[in-house]
Structure 1
């Protein structure tokens, strides 16, 4: 059976919150309402700071995203996405491309799964040569956003549902799969794979990783720890899958 390698984006492959950068770009272009944009950015900041219900904060961010993009033409967002990533790609962590080569050499099917808008996730995945990706999807009609978030991976249960979908679609074994992320939404995936890795984890994820015996890494040692993890010297509490 195949093995998946599921990677988070913000805080894991890049230090940026790409959705926040995108909204700032849309505001600068006059594409979206400035007041709604500022409310959205405030919600993102509250979420990033923590100290509140994590998934409640995620829901607030998604609601704000829906309000922000309601009525906006899809091409306007796609052009902004291209410009944002053109600037942000230079801040991608240096380990990312070697890590992808390492995973591919080990036979993993790499998937980029992020709570960011699918337009952004897809562009990043294309740049990195990742064929499988999932992100937040908005309802679209007549090439304009309708204001509803149809799929929000950052929501409670969002990433595990995607993981199960990918495992079924690609006939992958979760017990032999790998995942890496930095937040509580990633913890839901880390708990389902045989090889979990908490990358520069949030305080909540750090506590969970300590209690479950998951390895913790940072941008300096991840390329050294990953081969050891995949060799089976550190498993974690992975749950066997199909």
Structure 2
């Protein structure tokens, strides 16, 4: 049985993080925290920094679809022999400083979605360990990011089970064994990475979208929202459909 069936009563609300709930790319500040604590030498991340600069100059760090797997391979390689607890502490400390930058609508929108008996989900290509911090702040129990291989409480320098090659759609499949009512579900994203999720659901929202996603949204008639309009637009459509619009 597929995990995505129209006959199911389970509805989900899938959110990207970077550029959607948070105004920047959170993942790429994590190496700085590792280095600052002495858990990892700065030289480990030189190749990753050079790669990201190249991506940003050509396609944009959040839009280089074909290049992201390589970026996370380099991230994983830089973590070789780093203790899991060191990365966990770095992620926790990073988020403690950055969580105030979450868009103001984030908390109340998650609460409204939960009140509508819909399951909020965070999906990101960023490291699962930082996605976990964002999920905890928003009281979201289901989340998925890129995972790194661990052996004897240290990172091996490899990605977990080809996570770097998976799409966000595949990440979503990984989370659910029970069927989902896609027609009654919603998704929010801001780049072409998110298009596969948006096209799955009955209520897709392009949030302050990149040029590539803007073109797709206009072609398919998906609502385009921003940090000022998202709560109203979601209330007028998705939550009203659930009978819980305020």
TM-score, length basis structure 1: 0.88
Q: Please, which of 45, 53, 69 is the counterpart of residue 59 of structure 1?
A: 69
The SS at the match of 1:12 is: coil
Structure 1 residue 231 displacement after superposition: 6.0
Give, in whole Å, the separation in 2 of the partners of 1:8 and 1:188: 12
Q: How many residues align?
A: 231
Q: Please, which of 104, 116, 123 is the counterpart of residue 106 of structure 1?
A: 116
> Counterparts of 1:11-30 in structure 2 under 5 Å?
11-30=19-38
Aligned-residue Cα RMSD (Å) equals 2.1
Give, in whole Å, the separation in 2 of the partners of 1:69 and 1:111: 27
Corresponding residue of 1:32 = 40
Structure 1 unaligned residues grouped into runs of 5+: 234-242
Q: Cα distance 1:152–1:54, how it changes in 2: closer, same or farther (>3 A)?
A: farther
Corresponding residue of 1:162 = 171
Give, in whole Å, the separation in 2 of the partners of 1:143 and 1:28: 21
- Find out whether 1:92 has 2:102 as its counterpart: yes
Q: Cα distance 1:171–1:49, how it changes in 2: closer, same or farther (>3 A)?
A: farther
Give, in whole Å, the separation in 1 of the partners of 2:212 and 2:163: 18
Give, in whole Å, the separation in 1 of the partners of 2:58 and 2:179: 36
Q: Which has the higher contact order (CA 8 A, sep 6+)?
A: 2
Q: Please, which of 211, 216, 222 is the counterpart of residue 214 of structure 1?
A: 222
Corresponding residue of 2:192 = 184
Structure 2 unaligned residues grouped into runs of 5+: 1-8, 242-246
Corresponding residue of 1:228 = 236
- Find out whether 1:43 has 2:51 as its counterpart: yes
Give, in whole Å, the separation in 2 of the partners of 1:174 and 1:223: 20
